[in-house]
Structure 1
């Protein structure tokens, strides 16, 4: 029997007499609270702790390792893809350059043809077509072109400049022919490059899909861990709340003893009524409170071989099963079994 229960023994007012004086016995009732004693608390807490460790280990062994592997693979693929795209852009620039150069060469060719037309006007016209053939005209034209070419080279050398080679129609046409071969030479490389880019893009897509799957596993792991933390928090809150009520109850008894020493009957009656009324109000309003309080009191009832409502257990009654908690639904008669008397003699 607890210390406070020893003060709670039912003593009739006329049973005790001290110093030859009859002392009146006053009895006040308070609702008793117990310290938190859940036999499954340690096992539940240990289960939650081990599950947290398992989830952390799973994250380290599966999530972190695979994520690092995926991250390394993605960095490599992105680097390769960027290089291949840069090469593709360089080929596109080469084709654009080819178009620009062709335009320039065609303009130079048109200018060269215009110069040849001017040379033809400068060559003396033949007196008679029978004496001059077309071969003669070509020889004269080529001779004039060569003279102008040599003169241009000499002028460039004397002025410290480099002679421009596209001074003849043949040179320009040769340059045009060479440049027109560029697309044919680049086509195989360009096709191969586009295939490599497409392959790299497919690999990147596959890696990103694996990353999404892994991230979903990671989010699931986080959700499971959050549930474990909620369980731990619930256990801790339940224990702290029960202990807080118990220490509040001890403080109330200490206050009652102090009032008894002062023989303050009115204050004791007010203290008792207030505590019991508050308890009944919470009992009627909160099913969680009823379940929590019943869970706390059942071990005490079972140890004293009492029934759930505080009656002496009949021989044919089964012991209280703690896991099979019943809601007393505000039964005042049942509540009375939780109220203990406080004896004061004045």
Structure 2
């Protein structure tokens, strides 16, 4: 019994020792994790100290290894405010990077509060001003030899508490050996775009002028048919008037026939015969009755003559009025036709001028195409690589608009890895890239190794 009891006590002591060891190990891990979290929190939160003297500025920046870009952004902000960076040093201490900047401020900038503005902007950038951060990222392409794409994600919270998370992705720029060739190609492409727009504009103007010309042509056809209708109407009315002339002439002939017979001279034998016939016809009528009858006949003849003369005058009046009316209509139509012919001439001149301009656009467009082909043929490999880079950046911007963080991260790592692999293993590639990037470094007052030049 005693032996069994001792064995049970030994087992309990052993289990207690194991439990103690486990608890001690967990305590050590917890302490280590707390230290790591504290250190990582320090890494994630950059710190900056600014010391100002009369005309100099010293900036101490402490960041994590992943926030090395903040150092370059500070230099860029100083250059924007025309502050010369005299020296820049960086050192590694554990998981932290210590950066020290020595800059000189111009007296004109310090007099008008420029120093305080610079300090405020630097603090806003380092300690979380999202608006300045986004602005800096948009200007990154013009200042460094890599493209920096920023993508902002927002979480819906309260109105006064809307945190923004900014992701940055870097892509190496590819510089052509002859930048002028790329600028000439872009200029030719802009010429082609302008000529396409000019071609559309001129084509629309020609279309409008042609429709206007067709409208005038339709009016001219209507006037022509109306003029022909007037001519045919005048012809038919002329035939009717000719028939009336013939009828009036016949009436006048029958009216004047007895008068012509009575005017003839009579010989003595004929006169006797006439008297004999008169006696046979009139018999026992008195001379007074005969004279009365003759007077009535004469009056009737006079009335007939007056009526015939009035008909003749009426005929002439109708003919004159009808001819005058048709003449006025014909003159009006002729004036309208002449006006349309003048409009035809002016429209044809405008269309001819537009067609010449259209031919000029075709020629300029063909020349621009030929220039692009020649430039691409002369720099085939370089231009192809540069356009592949432009296509890549278009794809990157589309992904940034969609906020596809995973795709951007994968694409950025892939492109940078390809570049670094080529850089480390291909000496010719490295020397060629260093030669091409010299102009960019020169514009930004940087030395060959990317550091700021000292102004002495």
Instruction: State the TM bucket, normalised to the shorter chain.
Output: 0.3 to 0.5
Q: Which has the higher strand share?
A: 2
Q: Which has the higher contact order (CA 8 A, sep 6+)?
A: 1
Larger radius of gyration: 2
Provide TM-score, normalisation by structure 2: 0.33
